[in-house]
Chain A
């Protein structure tokens, strides 16, 4: 293993993000090859968190663009500051200025409102640009993004072309609610984050909920990997694991029992079909597994 990759694992761990070698390798390559990193995986496996912790490690700004249906260039890239522009026009009228000069003055950086994408290009120190849940934006926006991510420059008709001095570190996330275009994926490096292995999950619990005893953390880990093995509509992610562990800790439990699991199952399962599928017998079974493996 490259020492840089091993160091990255350690550094991520130090920042509170338990990463395996796959994640660290992907980050390392994306940084060296100066390519955006597209991160996919189920909800709650830590995609967004990865961008946050990367910004923390690089000690740089995190600029986040949350995607949604109908997201347009005015919200994502730039907008002109109309109220101020109108005011300027009014003021210049009184003074009888040359309209052409006024127009030239109106469309300068002074009146430009930078939205996340433009801001990421114009920072002197390259920030981490998180383009979150790109699968929610529509195809048109995806096509626009493609252009931006290949050249890291944008054209503003009134101003000309703005180019990034230094490329920002770009992380895109997707929940795979729709397949992204091939072209976009090709521009990026690709990381698929799986649900964590048992060891990794126990480690995460210990890191993030230090109040939880070793024994409880293990039982929770075994319980969750057994639970995810069932055919669920919405398998619980790490975020759910941590919520649940905190709930158990605040209920002062140091081991799992069927009763408390039944009472708190809502922390883990958030679809009605899943709550119905994991009935009393299933809970008993899962708890037995957790105890069997948990010691």
Chain B
């Protein structure tokens, strides 16, 4: 195949524009593969490219869309390379925000009545909320950090199955023998090995919708403290959209972190699309963030405005992937509360632990669940 290279480069670029991670090395592999297969066989070239560009199932749809262009390039052999076609990611139409009214305990569709403009971040009310966040936190955080200091110690005591040199544990013959050689073959002291300490991974997926607002500050303090105590924590927030917050919650400078946070979280009011947000999380982030030693903590009141089945499927997928799935529900603190919301009902079968999270004591009870 003579001029495959420019077309391969275009294909690679178009794939990257669609979010498929293809690098130069893959393109080189593809070029080598094209040299080996029947260049006139459309299906064989397709198969060779899939194998050599390492197209995984999530990227397959984009690849299938782009392949006809690659192939037609093969046939016409243009004199000069066309400009690469840039494919834009499909835009999602903005959804009308839903609002939770805590007094009537109902969801309102459409925009918030009165005062608030189009962009939630620009309204005076939103600015006020931000100020509250930044002003009222440090005391909570201090309390949290005392709890979390304990958590950090306990989290660090989990053991992996991997064996490393240790003071106690089973004899390590390899090292013992090396030592024995120093003393002419006399085994004076036995080297030992024990199970490695294993760093845990925590992923928090937090609901920041209107109905969660009364608890938001407190939970934020908790998250900030967790972030400082445990190294591998990822935090996501959602109400109508999902946002990756880990960078925002960087441990340096609490106040600055809070200010950044207020900017990053889409809207501290508005409705909830728990199911859809979790499904997005499962699809986009779970492969990289969640593995069999990750504890996933969902923080939400379960008042979902969407289809319960979507939520149930997402919860099931997470349950299969994670070490443990914990659902923290601030409403659970109220003795009269029953998890009757449809979303909550749908998700419960897949949740390992369903616990309250409204004060320091309830979070303390959470510790053993996080380390178990």
- A residues in contact (CB < 8 Å) with B: 1-2, 5, 21-22, 25-26, 28-30, 32-33, 35, 38, 40, 69-70, 72, 74, 79-80, 82, 85-86, 89-90, 92-93, 99, 102-103, 106, 138, 140, 177-179, 182, 185-186, 188-192, 231, 233, 273
Contacts and interface: CB of A to CB of B under 8 A. Distances in A.
Interface of B: 21, 23, 25-26, 29, 32-33, 36-38, 41, 43-44, 47-48, 50-52, 54-57, 60, 160-163, 173-174, 177, 180-181, 184-185, 287-288, 291-292, 313, 316, 320-321
A21 B52 contact: no
Nearest to B184: A99
Contacts of A25: 37, 44, 47-48, 51
A74 to B, nearest CB: 7
A187 to B, nearest CB: 9
Main secondary structure of the interface of A (DSSP, over half): helix
Contacts of A69: 160-161, 292
A33 B36 contact: yes
Contact of A93 (B26, B29, B184): B184
23 contacts: A2-B38, A21-B43, A21-B44, A25-B37, A25-B51, A70-B161, A72-B163, A74-B174, A80-B173, A80-B177, A82-B174, A89-B180, A93-B185, A102-B181, A138-B160, A177-B292, A179-B288, A182-B21, A186-B54, A188-B54, A190-B50, A190-B55, A191-B51
Given A33-B32, A69-B161, A185 B54 contact: yes
Nearest to B319: A233
Given A70-B162, A82-B174, A29 B51 contact: yes
B321 A177 contact: yes
Contact of A178 (B29, B184, B292): B292
Contacts of B52: 29, 33, 189-190
A161 B44 CA distance: 40
A191 B47 CA distance: 9
Given A28-B36, A99-B184, A231 B313 contact: yes
Contacts of B173: 80, 82
What 9 A-B pairs are tightest by C-beta distance, nearest first? Answer: A70-B161, A89-B185, A190-B54, A179-B287, A178-B291, A82-B173, A25-B47, A26-B51, A70-B162
A79 B175 CA distance: 12
A21 B316 CA distance: 34
A106 B182 CA distance: 13
Contacts of B292: 69, 177-178
Q: Is the interface of B mostly helix, strand, loop or mixed?
A: helix
Max count, chain A CB within 10 A of own CB: residue among B32, B54, B177, B316:
B54
Contacts of A92: 185
B181 A99 contact: yes
A178 B321 CA distance: 8
Contacts of A29: 33, 36-37, 48, 51-52
B58 to A, nearest CB: 10
Contacts of B287: 178-179
B25 A90 contact: no
Contacts of A30: 51
Most buried by A among B21, B29, B160, B320: B29
Nearest to B164: A72
Nearest to B57: A192
Given A1-B43, A33-B33, A190-B51, 10 more contacts: A2-B36, A5-B44, A25-B37, A69-B292, A72-B162, A102-B185, A106-B181, A178-B292, A188-B54, A273-B316
Contacts of A177: 291-292, 321
Given A177-B321, A186-B26, A1 B41 contact: yes
Contacts of B313: 231
B174 A89 contact: no
A79 B172 CA distance: 12
A86 B36 CA distance: 54
Among B43, B47, B173, B316: residue with most chain A CB under 10 A: B47
Nearest to A158: B178
Contact of B177 (A86, A140, A190): A86
A38 B321 CA distance: 21
Contacts of A186: 23, 25-26, 54
B54 A189 contact: yes
A29 B44 CA distance: 11
A106 to B, nearest CB: 8
B321 to A, nearest CB: 7
